[in-house]
Amino acid sequence: MDVPNRRRSDWPLAGVCIGLSGFGLSAVPFIGTRYGDWPEAVALAIGLLPLIYLAVHMTVRFNERLISIESRLRELEAARK
């Protein structure tokens, strides 16, 4: 499955996810004390889900990079023989 690598940098995605998480997690103490547990859980989810997405995305990208390095290494070893 050869998909062109359109994304050169993951920094914009990381910035957006961390920004969304910051807003969501900073709202948790204020929402929880005033309105009860359910809005607090929603604010916590809004704060944590972008971080979870970022962790999964970075893990998948790291795996793709490892596969790319392994394939290049195999090509170099085959050329040496």
Residue 57: DSSP 8-state: H
- The domain tally of the chain equals 1
Per-residue pLDDT tens over the stretch 57-75: 999 999 999 999 999 999 9
Residue range(s) defining the domain that contains residue 23: 12-80
Residue 74 within a domain: yes
Query: In this structure, is residue 7 part of a structural domain?
Result: no
Q: How far apart are CA 33 and CA 48, in angstroms?
A: 19
| Full-model pTM | 0.74
Q: Residue 5: inside a domain, yes or no?
A: no
Q: For the packed helices 37-80 and 11-35, what is the interaxial angle rounded to 10 degrees? A: 160
pLDDT in tens, 16-65: 999 989 988 888 888 777 777 888 888 888 899 999 999 999 999 999 99
Give the span between the Cα atoms of 20 and 29, in whole angstroms.
16
Q: Does residue 34 sit within a domain? A: yes
> Residue 55: inside a domain, yes or no?
yes
Query: Both tokens of residue 68?
Result: 């790319």
On whether residue 47 sits in a domain, the answer given is yes
Within-domain flag for 51 = yes
